[in-house]
Structure 1
């Protein structure tokens, strides 16, 4: 009995000591999910939960001695038990980097630290924006975590306001605006300005650089404009190998205008020749540097023929000009103009130069002219009227005749290499341009607004596209189509109508390797009665 009593007393003492120890030792339990707290950029409050067996205090500690103003805690103290403390971000983080502080929860003899991180406001902008010659608009995309405002700042506050923005403010998130520039009048000096994006206390700048200088004219596309006969001069458009379009490029470079009703363009070595029907400021015949488009010579009264329209060049001394009175050979060095006998009635259409010979046509006849000869030296009569002649890539000549025939002729001996008939479709005329265009053995032509392709290698003819399915306001095909000799892409000029609707127009580029959507590019409202499409590569 005595032993049982002693054992019971021992158990009571142990339990009592254990209870006293649990009550007096400080206890602070913070769940792992609250050990680190992150405020995303727009987040305002977060709550942390912990449990203690004593009264507690909460304070903010920073790695530096600076007072922390952006974060507050509430409450800052409390009694034993389960506690909820609210953390409040008093301001957004515009420092562009994370900022970190520590919340110390303390009880007698013990504290625990909670890491609090605030993410910076999202603010991402692009690098410098470059406008090349001829480019007028670019989309500027950026990202902000807060509403933004935009403005333009110039190096010289007094300079022309040449940069404009489509919007000056917006909401948080992925943003975009369009930057538009006026034409840079300088061909030698680039100019710069800054787009300033403001987000709260922050602002960042995007440098805009508008280039001066000339595009590469060696591998692009020229569109020659007649101009409105009663009110304006002709003009020249250039599309470089990247697809960038340069409007009125000749006048921008020279500061002077081409003649009225420009008709044809030819490149021979380092010279570019343009002939206009009525002449004007720079003459009926303009000779420019083919690499810079800088005018070198202009002739007006010297081209004393009626309505000159087309040109072919075999050498600098031999410039063949077609007019209403036939073909004349002009020597720019002596200003001598010589009529070619037997060339009366030559069609108002492009001629082809091969070596020292020039080929033209009149009705059913192919006519051959040669340097140093003042008369037609040979003629080839075909079965039907000719609608166009085009040089081939292998040095021969393609001919379209009799509304549905394609023929290939050897310019050396005038033999016929092949003559094929197209079934079921006729070849539409090309006005003052050939009725077709050639890419290797692929001959492209149109019938109305349908572009067709005839493969001379296998004799197959294929309908490629109905242009009106892809091009709005295509009312009139103006001076036919052309095919790029390197890419095989087909260019097609249309206007909405005559009258002032000629200003509503399209230069459409078709890539037939994309059968699902062949329209690769469409340039709207650049032409002014386009006289023709010319590719630099075709003259090499």
Structure 2
């Protein structure tokens, strides 16, 4: 009986010692806020044109997920992130991209979420056949920080901070030989408005421009260019932006602007097709980038030039020998000049550009022969010609006196 008791006691002892297994992740206490920490010393991933991998470390106190931002759905074919989820603790994300065979730098935004906490970072991949600088874009928080540019060059080069940004961007250090690292200090942006500054790096032949975008103290959608002017023949325009919030695009209610689906399109770059303008009037429309949650609306203004033309209502005038005046009605949306090819045609008045009337006086024709003259109206590579035909000064009536005299 004693042996059976000892055996049962031993089993219970070992079961109690071994039943714990591996410790389960301890979820945050109910009153502990979910937190995501990314070391400030880690640079944002920049991947070479041939593709590859980049890593980013972070810690969190609860379960998390990593996804490509909804605005960058079209980026999914060239960028992936692993792992896509995990528990509390320290983790390293691996971002993998395919080769970029386009001539545009492309970007994607990866979003980390842990409960109500959320952080995002931008993956940049250089374009084909570049590159002398690590990236042409640097984003800095409103609190300020460092802007680091890696320059690969085997020639002497210089840098220049544009005048408007010299008060808040300053050079602090240069390190390295074959590969140099230019380090700039970006001061805190105390205004609520976004700002940007350009740093130009050049030698005798090549020029690279790096734009530093600094957020304001509120959510913002930052457009690199707000106005585009397009010729009447139409073209494609490229709109680049930086956003720290989700956004949607609202096209104007016109049939001559459409968004272009492009394989190289990134989450921060959009292309739009502007159709040719076959009318004689310029036209304008606006493309909106909206974040309804924060009441943000940024607009790109597209102005398209008109089809230039000069129109005359009548190309030929017949005037009696006694002379007189003619009125040439002209409709034009360009500046033009008037040239008269004959001294017996004189311009009397000229008015305006839109719809105007050009008046000419025609001198008496005292010659026995009819005559013809030209009026040329030219502007913006367009030429129109008006012909003036005047009867002979001496009209014949077909009588005996008009018959030629023959010698007998």
Q: TM-score, normalised by structure 1?
A: 0.20
Q: Which has the higher contact order (CA 8 A, sep 6+)?
A: 2
The structure that has the greater radius of gyration is: 1
